Amino acid sequence: AKIVVPESVADPLGYYLNNTAKARNLLETATGCEIKRFIFSSTAAVYGDPSRNPVTEDEPLKPLSPYGRSKLMVEWMLEDVAKAYDFNYVALRYFNVAGGDPKGRAGQSTPNATHLIKVAAQAVLGLRAKMQLFGTDYPTPDGTCLRDYIHVSDLARAHMDALRYLRGGGASLVCNAGYERGYSVREVIETVKRVAGVDFPVEVSGRRPGDAAAIIAANSRIKATLGWEPRHDDLEEIVRQALAWERGLAARKRG
């Protein structure tokens, strides 16, 4: 799926085509092939700017961007498909996925990535001359956005737990995938600088369209229903592994 919120604001039709219309085609193919179990990568962006944090799965859904709406539409389609067919699903609402495989086998490789920790890691390595901080006037303790960062390995295990649940006869389910812990953009940047032992320029810019002030996951449902437990709920660990991956990726490109 396409996942960049400001890009979705500029190109809504592209997002509705890629994320929604093509998901509809996939679901048609799946049901035609009698696929009965489905795991969907949804997003915390379906909540928009929630009235309370941590946000539960029962919070009213008010996405602020075409990205969030494009994913919410797929959740609606899944709900309808499950009523019409022998079909059950788990929709995992990802919060901010970060880090890298602890053994260095995989990490974020997307060109021109916009993920905060990856961008900061690239600034550490001099792959970017600077990084931008978007918005310092949000109603948060330090004025920057608050987000819940989940380690990619914990998210991968959530998928395995979801598959086990569905294979065991579990009913369709929507649940958050996050740590119930929030960090501000400033806190994340300072953590990257501290872990790396490197300072780098940070340019303050205005808010980006579609960004919520704060969004933190309530995670009791995923724990209780899927039996999921986080193993990497540590921002410094996430940053260390993201840096290690970025260093290795840069070395491979040089070689």
The residues carrying an active-site annotation are 67
* Residue 133, both tokens: 């901080």
Provide the H-helix boundaries in 108-219: 116-124, 152-167, 185-196
- The reply to whether omega before 54 is within 30° of 0 (cis) is yes
Q: Is residue 19 within 8 Å of 2, Cβ to Cβ?
A: yes
User: Dihedral sign, CA of 203, 209, 215, 219?
Assistant: negative
* Residue 149, both tokens: 């960062």
Q: Is residue 45 within 8 Å of 64, Cβ to Cβ?
A: yes
Distance CA 85, CA 95 (A): 29
- For 30-83, where are the E strands, in sequence order? 37-43
Q: Rounded to 5 degrees, what angle do the CA atoms 210, 216, 221 make?
A: 125
